Amino acid sequence: MTLTLISIGLTDHNDMSRRALQAARGCDTLYAELYTMILDTDPRSLSEAIGKPVQELPRGRLEEDSPPLIEEARHANIGILVGGDALTATTHISLLLEAAKKGVKTRVIHGSSILTAVAETGLSPYKFGRTVTLPLPGKAPPDTVLATLRENREHGLHTLVLLDLDIVNREAHTINRAIRILLDADQPESYNGDTLTVGVARLGWEDQEIKADSAENLAGHDLGDPPHVLIVPGRLHFHETEALRTLAGCPDEALEGHEPVGELDTLIEKYSAGCRRVIEGLDVRDLPKSVTLEDVKALTGHVANYLDDGEYYQAERKATALASVSYAEGILDALRLLGLVEFEW
Ligand SMILES: C[S@@+](CC[C@H](N)C(=O)[O-])C[C@H]1O[C@@H](n2cnc3c(N)ncnc32)[C@H](O)[C@@H]1O
- The whole-number pLDDT of residue 263 equals 81
**From the CA of 343, how far away is ligand 1's center (Å)?**
56
**297 and 238 belong to one structural domain:** no
**From the CA of 131, how far away is ligand 1's center (Å)?**
12
Return the best residue to mutate from 37, 203, 231 for the ligand 1 pocket (most ligand atoms within 8 A of CB): 37
pLDDT bin (cut points 50, 70, 90) of residue 257 is confident
Taking the C-alpha atoms of residue 154 and residue 297, their distance in angstroms, rounded to an integer, is 35
**From the CA of 242, how far away is ligand 1's center (Å)?**
25
**101 and 151 belong to one structural domain:** no
pLDDT bin (cut points 50, 70, 90) of residue 186 is very high
Helix (H) / strand (E) element for 107: namely: strand 105-109
CATH of the domain at 97: 3.40.1010.10
**From the CA of 85, how far away is ligand 1's center (Å)?**
10
**108 and 120 belong to one structural domain:** no
Domain-ending residue, one of 97, 112, 127: 112
Taking the C-alpha atoms of residue 233 and residue 198, their distance in angstroms, rounded to an integer, is 8
Return the best residue to mutate from 145, 161, 163, 229 for the ligand 1 pocket (most ligand atoms within 8 A of CB): 229
**What's the mean pLDDT in 309-317?**
90
Return the best residue to mutate from 87, 114, 200, 207 for the ligand 1 pocket (most ligand atoms within 8 A of CB): 114
**232 and 270 belong to one structural domain:** no
- pLDDT tens-place string over residues 196-208: 999 999 999 999 9
- The whole-number pLDDT of residue 320 equals 94
Higher pLDDT, 66 or 334: 334
**From the CA of 165, how far away is ligand 1's center (Å)?**
10
Task: Reduce the DSSP state of residue 81 to 3 states and report it.
Answer: strand
- The whole-number pLDDT of residue 36 equals 87
**From the CA of 2, how far away is ligand 1's center (Å)?**
27
Residue whose CA lies nearest to ligand 1 atom number 6: 84
Residue 165 alpha carbon, nearest atom of ligand 1:
27
Residue whose CA lies nearest to ligand 1 atom number 10: 37
Pairing type for strands 78-83 and 29-33 reads parallel
Long-range pairs, 239-242, Cβ under 8 A, ≥24: 239/122, 240/122, 240/123, 240/124, 240/127, 242/122
Total structural domains within the chain: 3
**248 and 121 belong to one structural domain:** yes
Q: Say which range, 21-35, 97-111, 259-273, 294-308, has the weakest mean pLDDT.
A: 259-273
Residue 83 alpha carbon, nearest atom of ligand 1:
6
pLDDT bin (cut points 50, 70, 90) of residue 91 is confident
- pLDDT tens-place string over residues 240-250: 999 999 999 99
**How many residues in total does the chain contain?**
345
Residue 114 alpha carbon, nearest atom of ligand 1:
9
**202 and 227 belong to one structural domain:** yes
**From the CA of 89, how far away is ligand 1's center (Å)?**
9
Q: Judge whether 274 and 325 are in contact, CB under 8 Å.
A: no
Which among 122, 52, 53, 113 is positioned nearest to 87, based on CA atoms? 113
**From the CA of 37, how far away is ligand 1's center (Å)?**
6
In 110-266, the DSSP E strands lie at: 132-134, 159-163, 165-166, 171-172, 196-201, 209-214, 228-232
- Host domain of residue 210: 116-256
pLDDT bin (cut points 50, 70, 90) of residue 262 is confident
Query: How high does pLDDT run on average in the chain?
Result: 93
**135 and 236 belong to one structural domain:** yes
- pLDDT tens-place string over residues 22-63: 999 999 999 999 988 999 999 999 999 999 999 999 877 777
Q: At a CB cut-off of 8 Å and minimum separation 6, what does 176 contact?
A: 218, 219, 220, 221, 222, 223
- The whole-number pLDDT of residue 41 equals 93
**138 and 245 belong to one structural domain:** yes
Domain-ending residue, one of 217, 241, 256: 256
Q: At a CB cut-off of 8 Å and minimum separation 6, what does 237 contact?
A: 124, 127
- The whole-number pLDDT of residue 321 equals 94
pLDDT at 211 over 80: yes
Ligand 1 binding pocket (C-beta < 6 A) is 10, 36-37, 83-85, 88-89, 113-115, 162-163, 165, 200-204, 227-229
On whether the pTM is more than 0.95, the answer is no
Q: What percent of the chain has pLDDT over 70?
A: 99
- The whole-number pLDDT of residue 258 equals 87
**151 and 229 belong to one structural domain:** yes
**From the CA of 238, how far away is ligand 1's center (Å)?**
27
- pLDDT tens-place string over residues 53-82: 999 998 777 776 667 889 999 999 999 999
**251 and 121 belong to one structural domain:** yes
**131 and 235 belong to one structural domain:** yes
**What's the mean pLDDT in 12-31?**
97
**From the CA of 117, how far away is ligand 1's center (Å)?**
10
pLDDT bin (cut points 50, 70, 90) of residue 92 is confident
Residue whose CA lies nearest to ligand 1 atom number 5: 84
- pLDDT tens-place string over residues 124-166: 999 999 999 999 988 999 999 999 999 999 889 999 999 999 9
- The whole-number pLDDT of residue 66 equals 67
Residue 86 alpha carbon, nearest atom of ligand 1:
6
**159 and 91 belong to one structural domain:** no
CATH of the domain at 278: 1.20.1270.90
CATH of the domain at 207: 3.30.950.10
Domain-ending residue, one of 112, 139, 172: 112
Burial of 206: CB neighbours in 10 Å, binned 0-12, 13-18, 19+: exposed
